[in-house]
Structure 1
Amino acid sequence: MTAIVWCVVLLAASALPGALPLPTAAIAGSALLLAVPSFVITLFACLLFNVRQTGNRARASRAMFRLVGETVPAGLLIAGGLLFAGFWLVGVQSVGGAGVPEQRAGEYVTNNHGIVTVISEDEYLTLKEQGRRIPVAIAGGLSVFAAVFSTALVRREEQRETSATSRGPAPG
């Protein structure tokens, strides 16, 4: 959840000119450092759960989506879907076809596969900010995945524990 909030804050701040004076590597690194570990752990947990449930990997993805549908509240699914779509939209919108913004001989230019076009400083800064949003949007999407799917796994385990205690002790 922290990674989702951090990515939202970074994306909101990047919409303001000059609000993030940090290097792109620091911004992307901070977002990815929070998102990637939880995503990887959740992904492995989902794979283990699915293979254990289905017995093979071919049916594993269907089992996981069925689990999410059965255990995650509708409100959380809707919020997760909207957040994921928002991060995806920001990422797609940030992929520009104008080229790579560069500074050459005191001029601001875009380099699009060898075609160099002179642009204004404002256009240059806008293109730089757009490029900084892409890794943050990816990190946000990974974080939403991790939050929704880990919630499903935790709720399934809680259901399993509840049903085990309601049955009482094993005869013996």
Structure 2
Amino acid sequence: MKWTRRIALAGIVWCAGLLAASMVPEGLPLPTPVILASALLLALPAFVVTVFAVRRLMIRENGNGRAAGGGQAMWRLLRETMPGWLLISSWLLFAGFWLVAVLSLGGTPGVPEQRAGAYVANNHGQVTVISKAQYLTLKAQDQRSAVSVAGCFCVFAAVISTALLRREERREAARP
């Protein structure tokens, strides 16, 4: 789980850096798929491994081979292993990523595209001509929403993997 936490922490830093860079008036000069792929390359492996570890934890906590009562097991894990300040700061970071994602999705006239040298917003086939500044703003919003979701995955993976590592360290310290 140590490598999972390291990847998740690197993902948080990378996504926060991409978000900060996307606030520049010109936005990021990279295409959105490249930005999304770079963010998800760090987020998805850590998230998937953490989800499987949580499932294993729920089965172990329940004791009957089924993953029931997962919310209670997760809350108990976090409450027992994580200091309050770390939980609060991680929830604020998680909420911040989601807030950026939600704000980036609202009120857009469509998907920004370039067609025959003109900048347009495509809203389910209805094409509206827009200025270059509007195009760059819409493109930056798309990039921010994608990066924010990846950042949320990374925060989740970092918090849960840290809690699981701390639980294992406590169990090993208690063994004679």
TM-score w.r.t. length of structure 1? 0.90
**1:24-52 deviation digits (Å, cap 9, x = unpaired):** 22211111101111111111111111101
In 1, the alpha carbon distance for the partners of 2:62 and 2:73 equals: 7
Alignment: residue pair count:
165
In 1, the alpha carbon distance for the partners of 2:133 and 2:76 equals: 48
Equivalent of residue 114 in structure 2, options 88, 103, 113: 103
RMSD: 1.4
Whether 2:127 is the aligned partner of 1:152: answer no
Whether 2:41 is the aligned partner of 1:30: answer no
In 2, the alpha carbon distance for the partners of 1:19 and 1:114 equals: 25
Q: Identify the range of structure 1 (92-101 vs 81-90) with the bigger mean alpha-carbon deviation.
A: 92-101
Q: CA deviation at 1:70?
A: 1.6
Larger gyration radius, structure 1 or structure 2: 1
Q: Identify the range of structure 1 (19-28 vs 130-139) with the bigger mean alpha-carbon deviation.
A: 19-28
**1:35-90 deviation digits (Å, cap 9, x = unpaired):** 11111111111111110111231212321122112211111101110110111011
Q: Identify the range of structure 1 (47-56 vs 97-106) with the bigger mean alpha-carbon deviation.
A: 97-106
Letter in 2 for 1:69: R
Structure 1 segments (4+ residues) deviating >6 Å: none
SS in 2 for 1:126: helix
Equivalent of residue 76 in structure 1, options 83, 86, 110: 86
| Identical-residue share of aligned pairs (%) | 59
Letter in 2 for 1:63: A
Aligned to 1:168: none
Residues 102, 19 of structure 1: CA spacing in aligned structure 2 closer, same or farther, 3 A cutoff? closer
Higher RCO, Cα 8 Å, sep 6+: 2
Do the aligned residues in 1 keep the contact of 2:47 with 2:157 (CA within 8 Å)? yes
Equivalent of residue 23 in structure 2, options 15, 20, 30: 15
Whether 2:157 is the aligned partner of 1:118: answer no
Aligned to 2:100: 90
Gaps of at least 5 residues in structure 1 are 166-172
Equivalent of residue 49 in structure 2, options 41, 55, 78: 41
Letter in 2 for 1:33: L
Aligned to 1:62: 72
Letter in 1 for 2:73: A
Aligned to 1:130: 141
Do the aligned residues in 1 keep the contact of 2:112 with 2:138 (CA within 8 Å)? yes
Do the aligned residues in 2 keep the contact of 1:32 with 1:135 (CA within 8 Å)? no
Q: CA deviation at 1:23?
A: 1.8
